[in-house]
Structure 1
């Protein structure tokens, strides 16, 4: 959750920062701004959930800033904190949605209670049940189904201008303007079981359509092509009025998709991986963009497949595409288990994968001969799945020192199906171990990159959004990952590193306290002294004199 403190008095901003950082238990990414224009710069690149805002500031007043925030981020909550006990201010503030009002003279406990109350409201809103009444649900689902064939035509390269003319002649409407570009996002919803989607397809689709409507109403038109087994391609088109009112429509859209991801995790209990193409494209270019998104999502999840939710922007170009083709078995049981094997391989779920492999082994063992065609078809189906996976994620060099790969396509070395499946199980064990090591290495690399950036930029403001862009993961994920790997909050690590560098500079240099405060990222000498004494028990000047003596 992102919190922004805005006040032209530096001491008040720093005091509130320290107060909230120490006493609010939930993980918060707290940012500071000392003017309305500085706050707008932060809002143009980062979603803010809660603001503490001074009403009376030079330049942009707090009320003017709040109106802009409400237009750009309508779900943002604002706590006006001011020295002015004036009815007109209170009246104007209360006319805006999601606002409350406190005097600066209130006690710390009152301020903290108001912040906690706002946080609870934000969490509750994010988890609100979005069920529609039956008539709305029916209409939305019907509209969605009617659009599927049209979206498939667009995705398969049909001329959008011809489609538009056909719709006009038929007197039909479409939610998107064919003359305007769209943002594309590819989303994978990770199902809890192989049958979940098939049994509840209508409910499943409606849950995400309804959530999109709640998050994007009055800002973006949208539609979604339902692909298969939890895979969706979203089309987003900003409304003209909305594009004029917001400085960065991509940032807004990405933040809404992160809200969708969080709702899916917390309320629907499904992980989501979503990748957003950062430039709007014409409808005629959607097919090419779709395949690039699909490949990027597959590569991005290498070594960490299906284990965490994420929302990220498309970045790396991919020049090749690997597809998996499965032969249909004459036996329904074998066909079903082959599908499950592939499903659980790509979900990186070892226990379920092994159960599917054992079921296929038992089917093959019913065949007396190693040359039985039905059993060979099953074995080669498993091999095709594994080879395609290894090729897609470039794992051959990792696996080669551990186990032979050629028996996947060379059956002559085996004298029985028991022996053949013994090899497949050992091979699969090595494959899953490689994936586990790769995931660990990848996470350690991300943490190292974050720590290196922090150490090299301690004299600057270090925001979670900046770190997110450095490692190309969403803010929620890197915050959780950092705490999981290191055992402390990211903000606490930054604070400790600032103090550690300050101690070093105080002990080894004769620089003025103000210079050292600036070099370690503290806004003022007064705030630096307050933090340093709280951490060490003595003031910076006393610490410096101690080492000089």
Structure 2
């Protein structure tokens, strides 16, 4: 449902347009009205609007001044100015903006309805992703470095690696790396980034790295660097495809590659120190790895950085044994399970668990790591009492040596995770149902007041779109229909009280005028209010 705001300092005009649009578009629009530019601005600051229809000449805040606020707050909002012939020159400059048009007040109701209908169609078209693809492709070249950085950053923490998918993505983004061949990682930390005599911005650092690549890079190497955070860079390094065709052994090839990379790093360190007064501390992985193992190797490089002491500068080739690598890998994966549990990501947990089970395991390390994750989660969210009636928690405290059957042990922790996710879903559903009940109660107790989706979302502190979807899911009907049904039921009850006048009932239920109430009642019940009252009195 689209949201449309009508703005006019003459209430009769605003009310008339409101009634006109409500009768023609009872489902398509959620309508709002404001009797001043200032009131309209208050609405705009409370939430997004798709269309604003506004008068031009209004005291305090004119339509053109309001238009500037709309462009700043909701730049995709369609604005329709209602203007007279004498005001056209006044509005001429504003209609040069995108999403801005005008209507002459003399053009009549059908022209207004036709214009609003076409704007609704335009918005629906813009919301189709296919319609945005052309613009996105045009902007791709400008955003290419950001997209490359994002894709490669994901690989440092991603558990899954689809070679075919990544090959296509690399090709689309112009990344000259081959996901089918091993890759060598190198990490660099910038030391003294904020405390040096000269602070460099990110754009300057990127420009400096570009110069360094051109000056000290090697034609037989593909080296792609990204910024992981403010002070951390990482390089993905491969020999070029043409270099692979030369008659050289695999071990010698990578040995030569590491030698060239060390020289590159030493030159980069000297250039950064000279140009930016920033020291670079490099950690070069001990050997190339498959892309599936990048996240583990990256975690090991970070772990190794924190273990380093003394002066951190120069280039260090990381040496670690398989036990260290395994423990780092295990802690990273189990920490990820903890994140999935905390965020209620059951599907992601399920997928990561399947991959985890398929790997070789060392019983004691696995047990310790998983026990810590689950105990930490249970303590953090105070779940012990609720969980203990569903599953035996004593297993968590048993020594690793007692867990002789790895398969049953893994099955226990999987069942424990699924139990936690089930409880989270139940809690979420209960919170949602309580909130919807609160909204329904508010509607019934405030039928004559502001019952806009914006107001209801403020009451429960939910996003309007989320509230709309949740309300429909719980009740089977949308918010506006529920409000109309509640008003109709209350109107019927009030009409049975002969001492209440029609205009009193209309005002009590929040209708802008008795004629508007009469049209609403007849459309919903098939009778006018007076006919319904007469029928019930027989």
Among 305, 320, 326, which residue is 1:330 paired with?
326
Q: Which of 436, 440, 451 is equivalent to 1:451? A: 440
- 2:146, 2:403 → 1: CA distance? 58
Deviations 1:274-332 (A, max 9, x none): xxxxxxxxxxxxxxxxxxxxxxxxxxxxxxxxxxxxxxxxxxxxxxxxxxxxx966368
> Where in structure 2 are the equivalents of 1:63-142 lying within 5 Å?
63-81=64-82, 87-88=88-89, 91-103=92-104, 104-107=107-110, 110-120=114-124, 123=127, 127=132, 129=136, 132=139, 134=141, 138=145
Q: Which runs of 5+ in 1 are unaligned?
A: 155-162, 176-199, 206-223, 229-326, 367-373
Q: Which residue of 2 aligns with 1:517?
A: 506
Q: How does 1:474-493 map to 2 (within 5 A)?
A: 474-493=463-482
Matched ranges for 1:422-501 at <5 A: 422-501=411-490
Match of 1:170 in 2: 198
Deviation digits for residues 310-365 of structure 1 (CA, Å, limit 9, x no counterpart): xxxxxxxxxxxxxxxxx96636875675355445444544455345446655667x
> Is the deviation greater in 481-490 or in 76-85?
76-85
Measured after TM superposition, the shift of residue 78 of structure 1 is 0.4
Question: Counterparts of 2:324 and 2:378 in 1: how far apart (Å)?
Answer: 22
> Highest relative contact order (Cα 8 Å, sep 6+), 1 or 2?
1
Distance 2:53 2:410 in 1: 63
* Pairing of 1:110-509 with structure 2 (within 5 A): 110-120=114-124, 123=127, 127=132, 129=136, 132=139, 134=141, 138=145, 166=195, 169-170=197-198, 172=200, 330=326, 334=330, 337-338=333-334, 341-342=337-338, 344-346=340-342, 348-350=344-346, 353-354=349-350, 356-357=352-353, 360=356, 374-411=362-399, 414-508=403-497
Give the SS at the match of 1:495.
helix
Cα distance, 1:407 vs structure 2: 0.9
Counterparts of 1:464 and 1:385, CA distance in 2: 41
- Cα shift readout 1:475-509 (whole Å, capped 9, x = no counterpart): 22112222222222222222222222222211235
CA displacement, residues 251-296 of structure 1 (integer Å, 9 cap, x when unaligned): xxxxxxxxxxxxxxxxxxxxxxxxxxxxxxxxxxxxxxxxxxxxxx
Structure 2: gaps of 5 or more residues: 154-187, 204-223, 234-322
CA deviation vs aligned residue, 1:166-193 (integer Å, no higher than 9, x gap): 57x4164689xxxxxxxxxxxxxxxxxx
For residues 140-178 of structure 1, give each alpha carbon's deviation from its aligned partner in whole angstroms, at most 9, with x where no partner exists: 999xx9xx989x999xxxxxxxx5xx57x4164689xxx
Cα separation, partners in 2 of 1:13 and 1:391, compared to 1, 3 Å: farther
**What is the deviation of 1:378?**
0.2
Classify 1:349/1:138 alpha carbon distance in 2 versus 1 (closer, same or farther; 3 Å).
Answer: closer
TM-score (norm 2): 0.59
Task: Go from structure 1 to structure 2 and tell me whether the alpha carbon gap of 1:382 and 1:72 turns closer, same or farther (over 3 Å shift).
Answer: closer
Q: Deviations over 1:413-453 (max 9, x none)?
A: 65532332343233233222212212211221221122122
Aligned residue in 2 for 1:14: 18
For residues 148 and 350 of structure 2, what CA distance do their matches in structure 1 show? 38
Counterpart CA distance in 2 for 1:356 and 1:139 is 27
- CA spacing shift, 1:92–1:548, aligned 2, 3 Å: farther
Distance change (3 Å), C-alpha of 1:418 and 1:59: closer
Q: Partners of 2:61 and 2:481 in 1: how far apart?
A: 32
Helix, strand or coil: the match of 2:450?
A: coil
Contact 1:53 1:81 in 2 (8 A): yes
Residues 11-66 of structure 1: per-residue CA shift (max 9 Å, x gap): 42322441464263xxx543222333321222233333320223355665434433
Supply the distance in 2 between the matched residues of 1:354 and 1:116 (Cα, whole angstroms): 42
| CA 1:139–1:361: 2 relative to 1, 3 Å | closer
CA distance, structure 2, for counterparts of residue 386 and residue 400 of structure 1: 13
CA 1:110–1:66 in structure 2 vs 1: closer, same or farther (change >3 Å)? same
Larger Cα Rg: Structure 1 or Structure 2? 2
- Cα RMSD for the two superposed structures: 4.2
Q: What do the CA deviations read for 1:451-480 (whole angstroms, capped 9, x no partner)?
A: 122222211112222222222222221122
Secondary structure, counterpart of 1:508 in structure 2: coil
| Stretch moving more, 334-343 or 1-10 | 334-343
Relative to the length of structure 1, the TM-score reads 0.58
SS in 1 for 2:373: helix
**Equivalent pair of 2:18/2:31 in contact (CA under 8 Å):** no
